[in-house]
């Protein structure tokens, strides 16, 4: 007779797997705005239904958790942001929630917030008073993105009218407007220790401005991409760029090179990118109703010299991580097939 317990082996408990990046976070509607906490592994997201969510994320399998969500609003959430100290979270909606419609950015002093709306109006808010201390309508189209210098003095705004706006936060006044560029300006970031400003455009071009020369672009770099819809700096020279084709590219600025593919939302336009504290993880959201995470740690050690190797036109981008290789393989295989088909048709016509 079997002793008690014999033949009744306890089920094996599998330890949670440690991943290179957190698992995808899926939403019921398209998430068109994300932000990462400046110190803790927290992600804020807003969707087209007007819901705002707060998640904790982890590289341990199954450890992503929804911590909080808001109720439905009348309009979509356009953007979300954490304050610089991480103590506050803000969002912007066309119905006036969180200020005016547009992009909330904790700029300058801790009590200051900047927003931009669809009509091109920029407002600077004093959170202690709950009112705007600066209101300026210098742009003729929507304000798509904003950035501030390290001293919290100068605020830059990118607009759908193709111009870059310059505002003095401390003196609370408008300074100047750049010459219009081709296409909408969709994003703006500071690089090269604040000496250069890079703006993405709907035409797939990155425009560069000198810090002391905002009137006209000093240089430009056209990507082989449909657009530059969003952009986030990873190092002092390297930015990650999201495009309509769903591919996230890593781009070095001056010398200007496309370094490779960070990841992809297959055939789904990228809405926003956000970098985690430490610069090891990049988060992205797109029209596939997912937030994905990508390992960008390799970008911190990359060095780009002025020598440029000649690349075969239509060739695939270098995958910058194992996950990126799996994600981007199919997309660039399709590109190669299209390039071969085009080459074949050209050859027939030349004969």
- Which has the minimum average pLDDT: 110-124, 270-284, 311-325, 337-351? 337-351
pLDDT at 65: 97
Over residues 240-261, the pLDDT tens digits come to: 999 999 999 999 999 999 999 9
Q: Say which residue, 333 or 325, is predicted with more confidence.
A: 325
| Beta carbons of 43 and 290 less than 8 angstroms apart | no
- Which has the minimum average pLDDT: 193-202, 214-223, 271-280, 313-322? 313-322
pLDDT at 312: 59
| Largest Cα span, the chain | 92
Residue 291 sits at the vertex; the CA angle it makes with 285 and 294, to the nearest 5 degrees, is 95
Collapsing DSSP to helix, strand or coil, 228 comes out as coil
Task: Give the whole-angstrom CA distance, residue 149 versus residue 9.
Answer: 63
Task: Give the whole-angstrom CA distance, residue 121 versus residue 95.
Answer: 15
- Which has the minimum average pLDDT: 80-84, 108-112, 303-307? 108-112
- pTM for this prediction: 0.86
């Amino acid at each position: 007779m079997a002793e008690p317990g014999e033949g009744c082996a306890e089920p094996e408990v599998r330890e949670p797997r440690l991943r290179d990046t957190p698992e995808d976070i899926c939403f019921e509607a398209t998430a068109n705005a994300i932000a990462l906490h400046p110190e803790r592994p927290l992600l804020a997201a807003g969707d087209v239904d007007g819901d705002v969510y707060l998640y904790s994320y982890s590289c341990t399998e199954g450890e992503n958790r929804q911590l909080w969500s808001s109720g439905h609003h009348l309009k979509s959430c356009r953007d979300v942001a954490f304050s610089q100290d991480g103590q506050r979270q803000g969002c912007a909606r066309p119905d006036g929630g969180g200020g005016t419609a547009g992009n909330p950015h904790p700029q300058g002093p801790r009590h200051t917030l900047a927003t931009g709306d669809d009509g091109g109006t920029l407002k600077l808010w004093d959170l202690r008073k709950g009112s705007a201390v600066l209101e300026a309508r210098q742009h003729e189209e929507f304000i798509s993105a904003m950035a501030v210098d390290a001293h919290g003095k100068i605020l830059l705004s990118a607009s759908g009218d193709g111009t870059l706006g310059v505002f003095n936060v401390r003196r609370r006044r408008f300074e100047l407007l750049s010459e219009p560029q081709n296409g909408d300006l969709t994003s703006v970031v500071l690089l090269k220790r604040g000496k250069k400003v890079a703006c993405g455009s709907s035409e797939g071009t990155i425009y560069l401005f000198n810090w002391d020369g905002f009137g006209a672009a000093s240089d430009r770099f056209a990507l082989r991409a449909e657009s530059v819809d969003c952009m986030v700096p990873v190092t002092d020279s390297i930015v990650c760029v999201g495009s309509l084709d769903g591919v996230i590219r890593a781009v070095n600025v001056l010398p200007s090179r496309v370094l490779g593919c960070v990841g992809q939302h297959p055939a789904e336009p990228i809405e926003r990118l956000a970098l985690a504290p430490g610069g090891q993880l990049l988060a992205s959201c797109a029209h596939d109703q997912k937030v994905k995470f990508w390992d960008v740690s390799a970008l911190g050690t990359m060095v780009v010299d002025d020598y440029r190797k000649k690349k075969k036109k239509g060739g695939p981008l270098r995958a910058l991580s194992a996950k990126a290789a799996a994600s981007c393989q199919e997309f660039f295989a399709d590109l190669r097939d299209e390039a071969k088909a085009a080459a074949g048709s050209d050859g027939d016509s030349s004969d």
